[in-house]
Amino acid sequence: PALDADAYILRISSKEFPEIYANSGVFELEEGPTKPIVVTGDSSEVTANTIRIKGNIESIGSQATEVSQHGHVYSNTSELPTIADFKTSLGSTNSLGEFESVITDLVAGESYYIRAYAINQRGVSYGETKAVTTLTGVPTVITNRLGA
């Protein structure tokens, strides 16, 4: 026998919202906010203890009003650093486009794994990981006075 769609009630429940009822044979679910889309850019001005690196926010997320925090996460041990590791914090934005972080206080000659991140109300998104090695330190020159 054919089902009579009008004879059924769709009941949806979640932890976040009270129960929702609908009496229809056709149901449309609207997509909620999505995570932002962020890309890790290229590094430049690498020194013994500093890396300058770019990122790009390509989308703040559908139905999202802003990115609440963005920047770069980095680690010298984890190839997939997260916001629980070291990070730069460049603040909130509702604009798309390029940004830049300056990562300081690094160890000379060490490899760091870096990726861009952006956070909105849906969660955290990360760009791809880039490995960057700081330069070795500048040699120290010790001179003695002649005739001393």
**pLDDT, tens digit, 9 for 90 and up, residues 73-105:** 999 999 999 999 999 999 999 999 999 999 999
Q: What is the pLDDT of residue 3?
A: 52
Q: What is the pLDDT of residue 140?
A: 57
Average pLDDT, the chain: 84
Look at residue 114 and give its three-state secondary structure.
strand
Residues above pLDDT 90, as percent of the chain: 66
1 band by pLDDT with thresholds 50, 70 and 90: very low
pTM of the predicted protein model = 0.73
Largest distance between two CA atoms of the chain:
111
**CA 70 to CA 126: how far, in whole Å?**
10
Record the tokens describing residue 77, joined without a space: 């041990």
Which residues, including other chains, have CB under 8 Å from residue 4's CB and lie 6 or more apart? none
Radius of gyration of the chain (CA): 25
